[in-house]
Structure 1
Amino acid sequence: MPFKVIVYIFGLVVFTLFVGFNLDNRCDVSFVFHVFRDVPVVISMLFAFCAGAVCVIPLLLSGKKKKAPPAPPSAKGPKKKGPVSGDEHLYSPEAPSPRERK
C-alpha cells in the first residue's frame, strides 16, 4: 500500500514539473466565433483530455453487454469414450506400458 502512495505522489510531482516548465509555451485557441489568445499549451491539452473523457461516457453507458464465449469442449466434462486414433492407445491407463509388453 505505501508503494502505491509513493508512486502516486511521484506522478503528481512529475506532472506538476511538466506544467510548471511549460506555462510559458502559449498558443491561440480558435472556436468558430471567438479566439482565445495566449492560452498556455498545457491548459489546452488538459481541456482536450477532459473533453475526450466526457465524450466517452455515453459510449460506456450505452454499450451492450457482451455474451460470454462458449466454453471449449474440454471444459464441459470428461470426453466420451470412443474409437481411438493414432498412438493414443499406447498412453491410456487401460493399455500396458511399453516396458510391460516385453
Structure 2
Amino acid sequence: MLHDLSGHGNDLRVTRPHHSEPEILTWSGEHHGDQPAHAGLRFDGGKGPDRGAVLTTSATAPLNSEKFTGGYRGATATPERPPAGRPTSRRAASM
C-alpha cells in the first residue's frame, strides 16, 4: 500500500495483473524537480506476456469524486482548481 501522506485518505493499493513479479513496480530516484517527494515509481510493464501494475484507491477515497477538468499527472494527481475565469497552465501533481 502507498499511503497518502497528505492525510486525505487517498491511499493507493497495488495489484499486479497476470501474476506479474514484484519488480514490475519499483521506487525510483527520478522525479520532477517541482515535486516534494524527490522520488517516483517505475512501472516496468509490457506485453508478451502481459505484465504490469495497477494502483487503485478504496471505493470511498475522496479522489474518486474529483473531475480533473484541468488534467492530471499520474497516480499522485490532484484536481486543479483555477481561479474563477482564469485557466491554469500548470497541472497539480501532489496529493
Task: Give me the TM-score of the superposition, normalised by structure 1.
Answer: 0.18
Higher relative helix content? 1
Q: Using CA pairs below 8 Å that are at least 6 residues apart, which structure has the higher relative contact order?
A: 2
Task: Give me the TM-score of the superposition, normalised by structure 2.
Answer: 0.19
